[in-house]
Amino acid sequence: MARYKLTIEYDGRPYHGWQRQDHGPSVQQALEEAVLRFCQSETLVQCAGRTDAGVHATGQVAHFDAPRDYRCDRVRDGLNFHLRPHPVVVLAAEAVADDFHARFSAIGRSYLFRILNRRAPAGLDAGRVWWVPVALDADAMQQGADYLLGHHDFTTFRASECQAKSPMKTLDALSVTRVGEEIHVATSARSFLHHQVRNMVGTLKLVGEGKWRPEDMKRALDARDRSAGGPTCPPDGLYLTAVHYR
């Protein structure tokens, strides 16, 4: 048996999310079917961050066990061959030790959220950005974001269906940058609560459009109450960009 770590890019639009579902296609199913065709072996492909429906990845990480050794470039190219025509590709494959686990060995996750901030809707990037036509103040959003950095109870930004045992998380980075017609929100943490990134971005948008002051982010955080936060923003602009290991 040989364990392989995969770095994966995908367009989340056609899928009901990472996780295998009875009622629709998933990224996991696409990968498990490609593994089955590549090494004639039914196996679980386990990922670091179970992205929701419509969420994309440029640096998802997963692992699986193959019944025998393969050259890593063969794994990458073979899986990509069998993944066609799915918009899911293996960027890299590495042989790893048996105790490597994509999810449990991860010490950090990074996400990017792209907001298209212009009057005209998304044409080329439909489904890949969140279109916000009202002008957003990125500096005010950054000031608001700064209140969330560090170790906090993030109940205000947690989905009701979140299964994490504790709402305590440590947010390592939350930066807001204007890039041409877009606003990019980049964030990193050891791990996130369910919908945490989308709830933080949906709330920061209220600051960006001037409905909230930056310091209202602190008030919302301190309330430890989902109803004190802003709405969950759509998945379209969210990308899992990297998973970090020791």
- Give the residue numbers of the binding site for substrate: 111
The contacts of residue 141 (CB under 8 Å, 6+ apart) are: 176, 183, 185, 204, 205, 207, 208, 214
Residue closer to its own copies by CB (options 12, 214) is: 12
Residue closer to its own copies by CB (options 1, 81) is: 81
- The single residue listed with the structure tokens 């109450």 is 225
Contact with its own copies (CB under 8 A) among 10, 15, 18, 111? 10
Burial of 46: CB neighbours in 10 Å, binned 0-12, 13-18, 19+: middle
Is the separation of the CB atoms in 12 and 235 below 8 Å? Answer: yes
Q: Does 80 bind its own copies (CB under 8 A)?
A: yes
Contact with its own copies (CB under 8 A) among 65, 77, 94, 182? 77
**Which of 133, 239, 140 lies closest to 181, judged by CA?**
133
Query: Helices (DSSP H) in 40-89: which residue ranges?
Result: 72-83
User: What are 96's strand-pairing partners?
Assistant: 3
User: How many CA atoms lie less than 13 Å away from 52 in the CB half-sphere?
Assistant: 18
The question of whether 52 is a catalytic residue gets the answer: yes
The contacts of residue 53 (CB under 8 Å, 6+ apart) are: 12, 15, 16, 17, 235
- Shortest distance, CB of residue 160 to its own copies, whole angstroms? 30
Q: Does 84 bind its own copies (CB under 8 A)?
A: yes
Q: Does 6 bind its own copies (CB under 8 A)?
A: no
- Shortest distance, CB of residue 36 to its own copies, whole angstroms? 20
Contact with its own copies (CB under 8 A) among 2, 3, 11, 228? 11
Site for its own copies in 188-227 (CB under 8 A): none
Q: Which residue out of 11, 22, 52, 137 is catalytically annotated?
A: 52
> Taking the alpha carbons of 234, 193, 238, 209 in that order, is the dihedral positive or negative?
positive
Site for its own copies in 110-169 (CB under 8 A): 118-124, 126, 128
Binding positions are 111
Residue closer to its own copies by CB (options 3, 118) is: 118
The set of catalytic residues is 52
Residues that bind its own copies (CB under 8 A): 8-11, 56, 58, 73, 76-77, 80, 84, 87-92, 118-124, 126, 128
